[in-house]
Amino acid sequence: MRNRALMPYAFYEKTRQFDSFGYLNADAAVIRGGEGTIPLSLASKRGSETFLDIPNFLGDNVHDGNSIGVSYKLNAPIGNYKVTVNVAGAAQEGDQPVRICLDDACRNFSRDQQQYQFLARQPKSLTLKSDADVAYVVLRSIEWDRADQ
């Protein structure tokens, strides 16, 4: 039985044919237990993602014995890209090396560096690689510029 406090909302849903989960689609990002893949579109020729409506961290922020964490799946048209990853902050457990990777191209993470640039052909993923149980970066933005071929 439904909670009585929710009855007005249920009545509204029934009378207006309203779908409470209508904002979800096949590309919805679900993070569960600190793990998941977030889709990110690089469809425009140049642009910037500032994470106003999606999670803005990369890596693993859960102490659970694995280092899987959160990554981004990039949906990018064919072309050569210059991608800049701007970091706002970070945390890590231990002294294991941490790398920010666009596909197979990786840059060593340093707390003194807040910007990482990559050149890639139709990038597919942005990940954080480390053997540390907890290692993550908080992203300020991701910027890209595509040259078509």
Lowest mean pLDDT among 12-16, 46-50, 65-69, 83-87: 12-16
* Residue 105 CB partners (closer than 8 Å, separation 6+): 118, 119, 120
The pLDDT, as a whole number, for residue 30 is: 67
Give me 100's structure tokens.
Answer: 């920010």
Give the C-alpha separation, 125 to 80, whole Å: 15
Beta bridge partners of 46: 145
Name the residue among 67, 57, 56, 125 with its Cα closest to residue 94. Answer: 67
Residue-range domains of the chain with CATH? 25-147 (2.60.120)
Give the C-alpha separation, 144 to 147, whole Å: 10
This prediction has a pTM of: 0.78
pLDDT in tens, 100-116: 999 999 999 999 999 99
Q: Does residue 26 surpass a pLDDT of 50? A: yes
**DSSP run (H or E) holding 25:** none
DSSP annotation string for 35-90? BEEEEEE--SSEEEE--SSS--EEEE-S-SS----EEEEEE--SSEEEEEEEEEEE
pLDDT in tens, 75-95: 999 999 999 999 999 999 888
- Per-residue pLDDT averaged across 49-71, rounded? 84
Give the C-alpha separation, 98 to 131, whole Å: 8
Give the C-alpha separation, 113 to 95, whole Å: 17
